[in-house]
């Protein structure tokens, strides 16, 4: 509601606003065990309750999570069909903590993972790059794609912090070795550190990887006002990050999907979303950052991506 009010105040900033369609079990089953899907449906139908200390569902949660996955899949089809260059999906519940057979961390199904697999299965994409800038590591997304080279997962997250995953030296396994890029940052990290990681690690890797879709797990809980973490990104920082991704998409000729993840201070959330949309839709220069801020991450990434 806070996001809607902020966008309404700006007359939706020229956005094409669409109602999210219902996703399907078949779409969700590309990344989740059917038994998990059925369990969530049944639990919601029975009235819901607590799955864990963080994750609570109601009877309406089933429809909400179908809308979330449906929105992301519909956006993928429009993006890869050439209808638009970017799409923002304002989704609840979020998704990046959900594993193949487990709901956790406010997440029931992993929306960004469903979208990535939909892009490959139905959209004709060969490769998808996911950038997760939520302050919490997306353990579910990492686990789902840890052995895949068709989806590259990169994450900027505070460390140490919930859920305790996302170590810098974990790079995936099997065919997916090198296709997980974890970039943990310390408490207090802000605009410059986050943007530097995009400009000096993610962007060079993307140029080498050549994805057909850039997918952003956009949590806004690294904002300095957010109560659940200790980073210090500001709304204009998210705008600069989005502008850097917009520029990357133009260079790669790859469309951009943005799916909402965390964000728990409503004013900061709304301002950050507005700034992100401005960054995606304008030709604002994000500015350059000092590569020395992220030198250790650059050196680590070069073990698998020597051209960056």
Q: Which of 97, 136, 200, 297 is catalytic?
A: 97
**Sheet hosting strand 151-158, strand order edge to edge:** 86-89, 256-260, 213-218, 128-132, 151-158, 180-185
- Return d(Cα 174, Cα 253) in angstroms, integer: 29
Task: Give me the torsion for CA of 79, 21, 262, 217, rounded to 10°.
Answer: -20
Residues in Cβ contact with 300 at an 8 Å cutoff, skipping those fewer than 6 apart = 168, 169
What are the two backbone dihedrals, phi and then psi, of residue 115, each rounded to the nearest 5 degrees? Answer: -65, -45
What DSSP letter does each residue of 239-295 carry, written as one string? HHHHHHHHHHHHHHT--EEEEE----SHHHHHHHHHHHHHHHHS--------GGGGH
Active site residue 304: no
Q: Which residues are catalytic?
A: 97
């Amino acid at each position: 509601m806070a996001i809607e009010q902020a966008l309404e105040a700006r007359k939706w900033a020229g956005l094409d606003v669409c109602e999210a369609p219902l996703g399907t079990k078949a779409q969700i089953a590309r990344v989740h065990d059917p038994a998990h899907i059925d369990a969530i449906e049944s639990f919601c139908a029975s009235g819901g309750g607590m799955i864990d200390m963080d994750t609570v569902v109601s009877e309406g949660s089933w429809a909400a999570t179908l809308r979330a996955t449906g929105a992301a899949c519909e956006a993928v089809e429009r993006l890869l069909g050439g209808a638009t260059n970017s799409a923002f999906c304002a989704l609840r519940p979020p998704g990046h903590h959900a594993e193949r057979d487990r709901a956790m961390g406010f997440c029931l199904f992993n929306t960004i993972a469903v979208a990535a697999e939909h892009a490959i299965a139905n959209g004709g994409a060969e490769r998808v790059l996911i950038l997760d800038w939520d302050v919490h590591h997306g353990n579910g997304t990492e686990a789902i794609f840890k052995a895949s080279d068709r989806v590259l997962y990169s994450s900027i997250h505070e460390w140490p912090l919930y859920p305790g995953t996302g170590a810098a030296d974990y790079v995936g396994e099997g065919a997916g070795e090198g296709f997980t890029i974890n970039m943990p940052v310390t408490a207090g990290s802000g605009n410059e550190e986050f943007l530097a990681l995009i400009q000096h690690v993610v962007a060079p890797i993307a140029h080498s990887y050549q994805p057909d879709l850039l997918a952003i797990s956009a949590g806004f809980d690294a904002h300095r006002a957010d109560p659940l973490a200790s980073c210090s990104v500001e709304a204009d920082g998210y705008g600069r990050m989005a502008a850097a991704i917009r520029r990357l998409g133009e260079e790669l000729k790859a469309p951009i999907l943005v799916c909402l993840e965390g964000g728990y201070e409503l004013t900061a959330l709304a301002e950050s979303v507005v700034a992100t949309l401005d960054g995606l839709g304008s030709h604002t220069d994000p500015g350059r950052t000092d590569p020395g801020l992220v030198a250790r991450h650059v050196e680590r990434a070069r073990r698998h991506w020597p051209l960056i």
